[in-house]
Structure 1
Amino acid sequence: MRYNGKSVDLPPEAEEVAGFYAALLETDHAQDTKFTGNFFEDFQGILKKYPPSDGTKITQFDLCDFRPMFEYFEGEKAKKKAMTTAEKKELKKAKDELEGPYATCLLDGRKEKVGNFRVEPPGLFKGRGDHPKKGKLKLRVRPEDITINIGKDVPIPVPNTSGKWKKVIHDSTVTWLANWVENINGNHKYVFLAASSSLKGQSDMNKFEKARELKKHVDKIRKDYEADLKNKVTADRMRATAMYFIDKLALRAGNEKGEDEADTVGCCSLRCQHVTLEAPNFLIFDFLGKDSIRYYNRVEVDIQIFRNIIIFKKNKTDEDLLFDRLTTSGLNKHLGNYMTGLTAKVFRTYNASITFQRLLDEQNLEGKSLQEKVNAYNAANRDVAILCNHQRSVPKTHDQSMEKMRSKIRGLKYDRMKLRHALFSTEPKFRKNAKYADESDIDDEFIVSWEESLEEKEIEKAEKKFAKENEKAVEEGKETQKESVLKEKIADIKDEFKRLAKERGTGKAQLKRDRPVEKLEEAIVKMDERIKTAKLQMVDRDEGKQVALGTSKINYLDPRITVAWCKENDVPVEKMFNKSLINKFPWAMAVDDEWQF
């Protein structure tokens, strides 16, 4: 790095930390003043311990120039990208061989996959939302920080770096294999078995069965808390109001936080400033929820709830607890009286799954295309994600991917135009058929630019294929193709696009192979379907840009709802669940199409 325009000679320990920031130079993190401030504070702490060898005193962030480091990292990325397929395969093979022994374990004599078997490397804490500690230095975790949990009388694994384990225990009542405490928030980090393991699958099924069991008790619970909304005992009235929020709004219960932790709250830890009253019976919630994600919701409530909030806020400051006579443990203890193991979290899982089941049941998908069914499913998933406040910031690449999808649709319309023109060339009478009308956004300017880009892609494809085939020939000890073969192929491509250029504006087209009229008509119908599907995919992508669908799908929606819906509506389950989710929920795959949550 440079400081005040001059190169600095940093010891490896300080250079590593500077590199963590340099790697993020062109991201939003580096533009965030809180992130940058926390980083520089920790960086100065490292510099005190490991000062620059040339005596440079680094005191002002504005004089630091991390650009040379950033450019070095970008150069390394480019080198990796430029590697041949054979080199990439070799690198992957070496990585797999190195990690192989750590990727599995023996559980009761069975081989099971381990989940996150890598310890998080050191780096800068990114956090989520407006976390007060973002930018702080995550320290390297050493064997001396890690407790491992293994069977009795088995060999103790040797750490793959110097040092000894902090502790070796033999606790068969827990499912973690290793744990340590990270230095940013003092949280315990664990190594568990993979999501597809037998233990995790059993745990997931039990969780959703517990939520299903709540169906038997939910009417009684609701009846009781509705009666308690007017209870003369303030603590009971507070508990009933909190239960209303947890039930109707799917709020998390919330736990108290330390002073140095993010100011995130849940239902029981709401402060007066987080809930605003708006006559006649609206409440405006505005607070930071889990992972520092803002929860903002203006909601109409029962008039008794509105009156209760007025009473609870009376003679209190903004900083005072709204439910000052209620704790999460007290609330969960009360819920446990209705059903063994019932907590506010079970309520949240129940509400997410039952809402999802209802939304899917309300759909009429008769005669709908596969993509229309997928969009309907995702719309129900979105509604649940919004209920649970599973937000995400709009992906940086969203506009780019939307433009790419728009371009794909116009490309399909171009293909349709060529099919139409081929049809008209064969049978001119079809020109008058409204079914084969012009594509509205395919003008001469687009056709020119599209054909130019297609030509570039075709040439690039030919060059890559030529290089790959020669690479393979070298590996197999065969003779490589001459450069003239590639030149001939490129010349053919250019001739084809010159021919296409001549067709512009003629309303006629000649396809690479002749097709009878009925085949052309079939091809146009299929192309119409592809265009319709692509448009639906684009709408689906845009509507989901600020909603994290995965969180509810993984943690809150009983997977059996999805499997049954897929079977009932003839939708491949792979459309809804990726490979890792299918592996995570093998126990859910056998339900029939009539199964209900």
Structure 2
Amino acid sequence: MSSDDDMPLARTNGHLSAEKISKSEDGSMDIDSDSNMRPAPLSIRNGPIYDDDDTPLVNGNGKRKSRSSVGKVNYHESDGEAGRSTKRHKKAVVDDSDSDVPIKSRARLPPAADETAVAEDSDDDIPLNKKLVDKRKSIDKAAEKEAKSLRASELKAKKPTPKKVIKDESDDDAPLSGAKSRKRSVNGTNGKAKSSSAKQADSDSDTPMRKKGKAATPRAKVKTEQTSSGKKPPAKKAKKEPSEDPADGEDDDEEEYRWWDQANADDSIKWQSLEHNGVLFPPEYEPLPKNVKLVYNGTPVNLHIEAEEVAGFFGAMLNSAHNVENPVFQKNFFNDFKDVLKRTGGAKDRQGAKVDIKEFSKLDFQQIFDYYQGKSESRKARSKDEKAAEKAEKDKLEAPYMYCKWDGRKEKVGNFRVEPPGLFRGRGEHPKTGKVKLRVMPEQITINIGKDAQVPRPPEGHKWKAVQHDNKATWLAMWQENINGAYKYVMLGAQSTVKGQADLKKFEKARELKKHIAKIRKDYERDLKADSMADRQRATAVYLIDRFALRAGNEKDAENEAETVGCCSLKFEHVTLREPNTVIFDFLGKDSIRFYDEVTVDRQVFKNLRVFKKSPKKEGDDIFDRLTTSQLNKHLSNYMPGLTAKVFRTYNASFTMCRLLNEIKEEERTMAEKIKLYNDCNREVAILCNHKRTVGASHEAQMGKLADRIKALKYQVWRNKQMMLDLDSKLKKKKGAAFFELDPDLDEAWILEHQNFLVEEQRTKIQKKFEKDNQKLQESGEKIMPDKELKERLKDADELAKKYKKENKSKKVEAEGKAPTVEKIEANVKKIEERIRTIELQAADRDGNKEVALGTSKINYIDPRLTVVFANKFNVPIEKFFSKTLREKFHWAIKSVGEDDEWQF
């Protein structure tokens, strides 16, 4: 591959690496650093770097200055410390995507239609320390072996064909993209899916969308039947089951649109006709009662209704200490609040005298909080009928907006509600947390709809910003929010055709990468030793992205965006080197969430990073100063049309999951064991892909509850075994005394506590049943039961307490139930023991997931068809892995795979 040296440099500020790497400089980097090169230990807030390790840490220079720039970063710690205002965070996140369009150009102009063709799912994740290295190596070897096999098959397919050729009329004009391309179907139900490499401009591309229309790689032509008018023929359709959605109405008989069975034709035109009812605005603000006031320095003040609403935003969330006690949150709120006060005439006391609000610390929101808290409690206390009536009213209000007509098909709209005003919270230590999100007005909203469709009416007295008819865009409405200047879109739901097609393209592109991964790895391993600094930096970046799932990163507008970091934008202070080959990453990643990871790399990569950090570079300088994300993606597209850095995440996750699932042998297992096996594979993928979450505050409590459930079941087992002895005392000799012994996890104190719990639980059940029966009598107009009936019923709980007391004294348990037999009780024991094993598996699974986010990989990176295949192969209901929402989102995967259990990624 040729060098990218002729491209514009990524950044020209700070010290720039030399264009070439001399042999003497390269050789000097092989020498291990001595103790004199060891810098001061990192602050503990930047990770567990210990000072008692004799191995030197290397940051490129013999001596290192204090980490002044890092010291300005306030990472969110697990001990719940409030954030602090920092200079580093005087920027805001404008776009979380990996797009390479300069922020300045995007912040001021609405995006073109093709830039918003498909909205991407969130894939928020935090790195986890690298594990399972040996398994990863074996999987990488398997990937390279498969890539070589696929490439060999492809080359074989390109050889001249014999003279006698059987013409395939179905796609004789379509170019082959692989050895068996002609035979492949889009959904891959025959085990091989059609390559999607011909489609470069899709939702996962990192190439600026505006540029794609001019310089996109020519698409592979796919021959499809067309009518004389040039329109596509009707799609294949299959009957669908009756819908449970009452909003379907006359569309109950509508046939299912099986888009995944269709040829992969050019889809730049997204729709021919589009009808919808616009957006649903949040309710208007309800003023506070006259007796509820904001208090300043002990004085209740009167505010303009707009300022009162803003004060209510803060007052209503006083119980969210994480936010309201954060100094950055307080500062941003107070600045915006003062602006609103200034614009609306300020605050006045009861006599009408002006009150100058200057200090946040003198504001008292307690009355406002108490008011909203009271409203919340009253809502919770509503009767069942009141809740049902309110829900019915809400459903009626939302019904017109929930669906649209897309080319005559009924499609569900995803986010048709306009966000209500409030205070921005943000993720991680966001610099704009606490700022006021203004109410979105109709005059800010652009509607996208078909030319022949009726334009939805804006609220009375208002008008839309614009109405357009762009059939190359998939959004229905758009507006710009005031916090980060980002554009918000009303899109179709996750289960829609458009979103499904985007998902399928993403995973098919990752499958296509299988053919090229061996070549890519061979090339970047060669270029790790290149003389050209640009080539060596690019090879090192691809290595880190491929092996450790780093995001590529993109250019930042220092004035408008938070300093979040990806691979290409790593700075000197973000990478620390520890001999012989450990690299410590520590920076703010996507959504201003801290990325901390210690990884072991190839020695050549370690040496390269030392070269990239070589003096005179210092803190604030870029490591990859001769590389940008756009340059990297342009280089990757030489291997495969549409290949970008982010495709590696999907490929590595799906290929790894496929290999792990294939290693599972078919044998007799319980349902719980099968589910745990799948989750274990998912967990390994999540770890390999660096998906982490913070251990929840309730985790220990949840684990304690599971432990108590297991103990309770063990106690049931013991009581049942004692009942067996009550029926036949000879069983003790026949089965052995050990069979009837109390489980060592259960002691006398716990048993007494558990018995008291069971008695109280019985009382509660009786009480609730009594109240429910009386409510039914009252609703039917009959006389309710007196309290003495309740007392009579509660005697059952008293009898249970007496029975436990007798058992504790005699150490014997009388057989219970109708016509009890040893056989019946023993069968019951086996059922309870099976429940114990199931809960123990669940407990182990939950504990294993406490720091790993399985959902991130399962939803965004693992091809859902792999999950469907596993469910088919091991006879597990798909509901065990996909919630209702995910089943709707991945409907295409479930239907396209069908009952096949041999499909491979």
**Cα deviations across residues 427-446 of structure 1 (Å, max 9, x unaligned)?**
23445442333122323332
What is the TM-score with the length of structure 1 in the denominator? Answer: 0.94
SS of equivalent to 1:216: coil
> How far apart, CA to CA, are the structure 2 residues paired with 1:252 and 1:463?
57
SS of equivalent to 1:286: strand
**Cα deviations across residues 153-206 of structure 1 (Å, max 9, x unaligned)?**
211112357522111111111211111112222111111111111221122111
Identify the range of structure 1 (432-441 vs 140-149) with the bigger mean alpha-carbon deviation: 432-441
Residue pairs, 1:263-302, within 5 angstroms:
263-302=563-602
Report what 2:710 is aligned to: 409
Per-residue deviation, 1:514: 4.6
AA paired with 1:350? Answer: Y
Change (3 A) 1:69 1:444: farther
Report what 2:245 is aligned to: none
Change (3 A) 1:495 1:542: same
1:425 to 718, 726, 736: 726
SS of equivalent to 1:80: helix
> How far apart, CA to CA, are the structure 1 residues paired with 2:473 and 2:380?
43
AA paired with 1:42? Answer: D
Change (3 A) 1:93 1:226: same
- Structure 2: segments with no counterpart, 5+ residues: 1-293
Is 1:85 aligned to 2:384, yes or no?
Answer: yes
Per-residue deviation, 1:561: 0.9
> How far apart, CA to CA, are the structure 2 residues paired with 1:441 and 1:6?
60
AA paired with 2:901? Answer: D
AA paired with 1:412? Answer: L
Change (3 A) 1:402 1:23: farther
AA paired with 1:47? Answer: L
Asked whether the 8 Å contact 2:548–2:690 carries over to 1, the reply is no
Residue pairs, 1:232-251, within 5 angstroms:
232-251=531-550
Change (3 A) 1:159 1:447: farther
> How far apart, CA to CA, are the structure 1 residues paired with 2:484 and 2:690?
23
Change (3 A) 1:7 1:529: farther
Change (3 A) 1:16 1:505: farther
Is 1:594 aligned to 2:902, yes or no?
Answer: yes
**Cα deviations across residues 244-301 of structure 1 (Å, max 9, x unaligned)?**
1111111111112222422211111111211111111221111121122222221111
> How far apart, CA to CA, are the structure 1 residues paired with 2:368 and 2:690?
39
> How far apart, CA to CA, are the structure 1 residues paired with 2:368 and 2:408?
49
1:371 to 672, 677, 683: 672
Change (3 A) 1:121 1:528: same
Report what 2:420 is aligned to: 121
1:338 to 627, 639, 646: 639
Report what 1:108 is aligned to: 407
Asked whether the 8 Å contact 1:2–1:65 carries over to 2, the reply is yes
> How far apart, CA to CA, are the structure 1 residues paired with 2:805 and 2:365?
49
Identify the range of structure 1 (25-34 vs 472-481) with the bigger mean alpha-carbon deviation: 472-481
Residue pairs, 1:304-343, within 5 angstroms:
304-314=604-614, 315-343=616-644
Higher helix share: 1
Identify the range of structure 1 (131-140 vs 421-430) with the bigger mean alpha-carbon deviation: 421-430
Change (3 A) 1:594 1:58: same
Per-residue deviation, 1:484: 4.1
Per-residue deviation, 1:364: 4.8
Change (3 A) 1:60 1:417: farther
Change (3 A) 1:63 1:413: farther
Is 1:348 aligned to 2:649, yes or no?
Answer: yes
Sequence identity percentage: 53
> How far apart, CA to CA, are the structure 1 residues paired with 2:675 and 2:461?
51
Asked whether the 8 Å contact 1:257–1:263 carries over to 2, the reply is yes
Is 1:53 aligned to 2:348, yes or no?
Answer: yes
> How many residue pairs get matched?
597
Report what 2:439 is aligned to: 140
Q: What is the RMSD of the two structures over their aligned residues, measured on CA atoms? A: 2.2
1:535 to 840, 860, 882: 840
2:854 to 549, 564, 567: 549
Report what 1:561 is aligned to: 866
**Cα deviations across residues 372-415 of structure 1 (Å, max 9, x unaligned)?**
33223223222322333333332232233223222222222232
AA paired with 1:2? Answer: V
Identify the range of structure 1 (544-553 vs 176-185) with the bigger mean alpha-carbon deviation: 544-553
SS of equivalent to 2:567: coil
Change (3 A) 1:163 1:392: farther
Report what 1:492 is aligned to: 796
> How far apart, CA to CA, are the structure 2 residues paired with 1:447 and 1:6?
58
Is 1:2 aligned to 2:292, yes or no?
Answer: no
Is 1:31 aligned to 2:336, yes or no?
Answer: no
Change (3 A) 1:249 1:464: same
Is 1:42 aligned to 2:330, yes or no?
Answer: no
AA paired with 2:455? Answer: I
SS of equivalent to 1:589: helix
> How far apart, CA to CA, are the structure 2 residues paired with 1:179 and 1:436?
69
Change (3 A) 1:365 1:154: same
Change (3 A) 1:351 1:505: farther
Asked whether the 8 Å contact 1:132–1:261 carries over to 2, the reply is no
AA paired with 2:477? Answer: A
Report what 2:26 is aligned to: none
> How far apart, CA to CA, are the structure 2 residues paired with 1:265 and 1:477?
68
AA paired with 2:348? Answer: S
Change (3 A) 1:528 1:481: same
2:313 to 15, 20, 25: 20
**Cα deviations across residues 82-128 of structure 1 (Å, max 9, x unaligned)?**
22211111111111111111111111111111111111111222211
SS of equivalent to 1:400: helix
Per-residue deviation, 1:129: 1.5
> How far apart, CA to CA, are the structure 2 residues paired with 1:162 and 1:577?
45
**Cα deviations across residues 407-426 of structure 1 (Å, max 9, x unaligned)?**
22222223223222222222
Is 1:166 aligned to 2:465, yes or no?
Answer: yes
Change (3 A) 1:223 1:444: same
AA paired with 2:604? Answer: Q
Identify the range of structure 1 (10-19 vs 334-343) with the bigger mean alpha-carbon deviation: 10-19
Asked whether the 8 Å contact 1:378–1:540 carries over to 2, the reply is yes
* Structure of higher CA gyration radius: 2
> How far apart, CA to CA, are the structure 1 residues paired with 2:740 and 2:303?
69
Asked whether the 8 Å contact 1:11–1:53 carries over to 2, the reply is no
Is 1:436 aligned to 2:729, yes or no?
Answer: no
**Cα deviations across residues 188-240 of structure 1 (Å, max 9, x unaligned)?**
11111111112211221111111101111111111122221122221121111
SS of equivalent to 2:347: coil
Q: Which aligned segments of 4 or more residues in structure 1 are displaced greater than 6 angstroms?
A: none
> How far apart, CA to CA, are the structure 2 residues paired with 1:85 and 1:69?
28
> How far apart, CA to CA, are the structure 2 residues paired with 1:26 and 1:165?
38
- Structure 1: segments with no counterpart, 5+ residues: none
Asked whether the 8 Å contact 1:365–1:373 carries over to 2, the reply is no
> How far apart, CA to CA, are the structure 1 residues paired with 2:544 and 2:613?
16
Per-residue deviation, 1:368: 3.8
Per-residue deviation, 1:32: 2.5
> How far apart, CA to CA, are the structure 2 residues paired with 1:550 and 1:237?
35
AA paired with 1:297? Answer: D
AA paired with 1:233? Answer: S
Report what 1:571 is aligned to: 876
> How far apart, CA to CA, are the structure 2 residues paired with 1:160 and 1:38?
31
What is the TM-score with the length of structure 2 in the denominator? Answer: 0.63
Per-residue deviation, 1:577: 0.9
SS of equivalent to 1:438: coil
Identify the range of structure 1 (208-217 vs 177-186) with the bigger mean alpha-carbon deviation: 177-186
Asked whether the 8 Å contact 1:466–1:486 carries over to 2, the reply is yes
Per-residue deviation, 1:33: 2.6
AA paired with 1:191? Answer: V
Change (3 A) 1:465 1:18: farther
